[in-house]
Structure formats: C-alpha cells, structure tokens
Structure 1
Amino acid sequence: MTIVITGASRGIGAGLAKAYAARGETVIGTTRRGDTPLDVTDPASVARFAASLDGAPVALLVCNAGVYLDRGQQLDGGYPAAQWAQTFAANVTGVFLTIQALLPNLRAAQDAKIAIISSQMASSEKAPGGSYIYRASKAAALNLGRNLAADLRRDRIAVGIYHPGWVQTDMGGGAADITVKQSVTGLVARFDALSLASTGVFETWDGRAHPY
C-alpha cells in the first residue's frame, strides 16, 4: 500500500518512513525541501503535492509535520502574534489542507486511514500551564481529527489522533522518556489497529486511551 508521511525529514516522521519501507510498503515522505517537497503552510505547495500523486490511492496519510515555537516564552510580554499565526498555520491549517487535498487519493483506496500526530499537550483535562500556543494548536488538531472522523465515516476513512510520547528528538530533547524507535514501533501498531470501529480515537503511542 502507499503511505504518505508529512514532515519525514527527521525525528518521528523519518522513523515512520524507515519502518514502513522496511515492511515493503510504498512510502512517500515529504519534507519542506528535497525530492518530495511539501510546505503544509503554503496552499500552493499542498496543491502541487496533491497533483504530483496523479490520483494514486493512498491507504494511510500520517500528518506529522508541525512546529513548537513558543518553548520558554513568558506570560508577561511573550507569545507574540506571529508565533500564533506560524504555529497554527503548520499544526492546524496545514493538517486540514493536506487532508482536504488528498481526499480523492484516500477515497480511491479501500478503507483508508488518517493518523494525526497531536500531543498529550492537547488535553484539556491535563493542563499544567505554559506553552500556550503549542498546546492550543494541538488541542485544535485533536478537535479537527475528531470532527473529520465523523464526516469521513461515510467514505470509510478512519481517523486517529495520537500522542507519540515524549520522544528523544530535536523537539523533545535528549532528556525525553523514549527513543524514536520506541515511539515509531508503538505508533505503527496503533495505525495498524485503527478502523472505523475506533475512528476518532485519541491514544498514546503505547495504546492507552488519552484523556481529552
């Protein structure tokens, strides 16, 4: 099957691309620059990428591309408007535009799936404060995924939203809890298990239901 993974240049995205290629799947991993360019914040880039697929069926779309720009910002005087705009463009609008553009490809596949990489920081029940922009964007991505799950059920497209763990990547840092390999192994298992029966699920990388 053909799998599209956004943000596949490093970290979790690169790990997922490697894992699926090792299984013999056809993997299209996008990066902002390179052989398969896609800037999810640019509608023209999204349209060009979708056109390059030429209607080919996509069995799994993993929306992984995202940014975390407000790390360390202070409530007094921090969190500039530009960071809000840039973060939501990548983490929310970019997810929606990518899914919207690839709907014909997903519909062309049998029982296609969409996996949205969100975060435990999307949870309203677990709200320790700080990182307001990133938290808000991931909460919006969670809400987006839940609503898409309802609308795409008629097309037999299942949607899952996932917390990948606190992962040792450039974003997560070296002190994070788990390795990329651990996260990827868990996520692949979650994507394999995703179906219309579980569409709209918000789960952790290791299969636990995450509080909303």
Structure 2
Amino acid sequence: MHIVITGVNRGIGRVLAGRYQGRGDRVTGTARDDSAQVRLDVTDPAQQAEMAAQMADQPVDLLICNAGVYLDKGHDIDGYPAEMWAQTFATNVTGVFLTVQSLLPNLRAARGRIVILSSTMASHTRAPGGSYIYRASKAAALNLGRNLATDLQADGIAVGIYHPGWVQTEMGGPAAEITTDQAADGLIERFDALSLETTGCFENWDGRPHAY
C-alpha cells in the first residue's frame, strides 16, 4: 500500500510513518524542510505542483492530511491578530484542500482513501472558549472533509475525519492524556476500517463516534 503523509517531521506524523513502514507499506512523507522525501509547504501552490509532478503516475492508496499549526495557543480575547488567522487557515484548511487537489489523480488511480486530522476542538457541541483560531480552522477542516466525502464518493474515494486525542506532542504538551504511540495505533485501526460505507465519518482515535 502506498501512503502519503503530510508533516512527518514530528509528532503523530512521524510515528504514523514509522508504523506504516514497519508493517511493510510504502510511505511518502512530506515536510516543510528537507527531513522528508518530499519538501512541501502545504500552503504553497508552487510546491504542491512540484509534488504532483514528482508523483505523477504513482497511485496513492491513502492520503493522511496531518500537517497543521496551533499558533494561537495561550492567547486571550485581546490577542488573535489578523495575520495569525490567515496563517492558520492557510495551513489547516487551504493546505488540506490543495494537497487533496494535487494528489487527486493518484487517489483516483487507486480508488484510495483520504484522512483529515481535525480535533475535538472542531465540535460545535463543545465550546469552552479560547483558542478561537485553531478551533475555527479545525471546524472548517471537518466541514471540508464532509463535503469531499460527498463529491468523491462517485470516484470510489472514501474520506474520514478524525480526532487524534489529546496527545503528548509539542502541540499537545507533556500533560496530555495519551502518547503518540497510543494515538498512532488507534488511528491506524480507524484508517484501515475507513470505507465508502463509512465515508464522511468523524471519529475519535479509539473508534468512538465524535459529536459534530
């Protein structure tokens, strides 16, 4: 199986790449620096085009849109500058869409699957305040995934949206509930189970359906 994972230079992306490689899958990882096979800033259309050309005629069985930023962590209501909104949405929303667009021929060739890592912070049923930019961007990513699921079903491409858990990463912090190993193991089970019958799902890393 050929798997493309964005943002493999750290955190969950790095662990997922290692897990898939360990079970014998072919992994193409991307990162904004030179630490992965493909150099890709997901916000850059030119780099997206370069990736598409580099991977032409290579079917993709699974695309994992993992790359993301949490720039407004710790801000209060007087923060949240406009540029931070633009940067976050460029990565967490537009970057996901551009990546799907770039690899759509590859996914169609394999009748592959698309995974979007969103967050429990995207849920409109949970609104504890704060982290306005991150919450809004992950809600938009959830909406994007749900609509892609509708449009790509005719191509045989399933789309799933997942909350990876509160994970002990640079983004989640050391007090988070689960390790990257726990998150990766649970997520891989979810990704393996994704099908056209479950396309459009929003699930937790452990398989529990997530409230929208």
**Short-chain TM bin:** over 0.9
Q: Provide the residue aligned with 2:195 in structure 1.
A: 195
Which residues of structure 2 form unaligned runs of 5+?
none
Q: Distance in 2 between matches of 1:123 and 1:59?
A: 28
3-state secondary structure, aligned to 2:166:
coil
Q: Provide the residue aligned with 2:38 in structure 1.
A: 36
Q: Provide the residue aligned with 2:49 in structure 1.
A: 47
Aligned residues: 210
3-state secondary structure, aligned to 1:161:
strand
Q: Provide the residue aligned with 1:137 in structure 2.
A: 137
Amino acid corresponding to residue 185 of structure 2 in structure 1: T
Q: Is 1:99 equivalent to 2:100 in the alignment?
A: yes
3-state secondary structure, aligned to 2:31:
coil
Q: Is 1:23 equivalent to 2:23 in the alignment?
A: yes
Q: Distance in 2 between matches of 1:54 and 1:158?
A: 21
Q: Provide the residue aligned with 2:87 in structure 1.
A: 86
Give the CA RMSD over aligned residues: 0.6
Q: Is 1:4 equivalent to 2:4 in the alignment?
A: yes
CA displacement 1:62-110 (0-9 Å, x = unmatched): 000000000111112x10000000000000000000001100000010x
Q: Provide the residue aligned with 1:175 in structure 2.
A: 175
Q: Distance in 2 between matches of 1:27 and 1:127?
A: 37
Give 1:48 shift. 0.6
Q: Distance in 1 between matches of 2:112 and 2:44?
A: 25
Amino acid corresponding to residue 90 of structure 1 in structure 2: T
Q: Distance in 2 between matches of 1:52 and 1:9?
A: 20
CA displacement 1:34-72 (0-9 Å, x = unmatched): 142010011111111111102210000000000000011
Q: Distance in 2 between matches of 1:177 and 1:51?
A: 40
3-state secondary structure, aligned to 1:74:
coil
Q: Distance in 2 between matches of 1:193 and 1:163?
A: 15
Q: Distance in 1 between matches of 2:173 and 2:28?
A: 26
3-state secondary structure, aligned to 2:16:
helix
Q: Distance in 1 between matches of 2:3 and 2:18?
A: 12
- Match of residue 59, structure 1, among 61, 79, 82: 61
Amino acid corresponding to residue 59 of structure 1 in structure 2: D
Amino acid corresponding to residue 43 of structure 2 in structure 1: T
Amino acid corresponding to residue 40 of structure 2 in structure 1: L
Give 1:29 shift. 0.8
Q: Is 1:116 equivalent to 2:104 in the alignment?
A: no
Give me the identity figure in percent: 68
CA displacement 1:4-51 (0-9 Å, x = unmatched): 000000100000000000010000011111142010011111111111
CA displacement 1:164-190 (0-9 Å, x = unmatched): 000000000000000000000000000
Give 1:114 shift. 0.3
List 4+ stretches of structure 1 deviating above 6 A. none
3-state secondary structure, aligned to 1:57:
coil
User: TM-score, normalising length from structure 2?
Assistant: 0.98
Q: Distance in 1 between matches of 2:147 and 2:57?
A: 25
Amino acid corresponding to residue 82 of structure 1 in structure 2: E
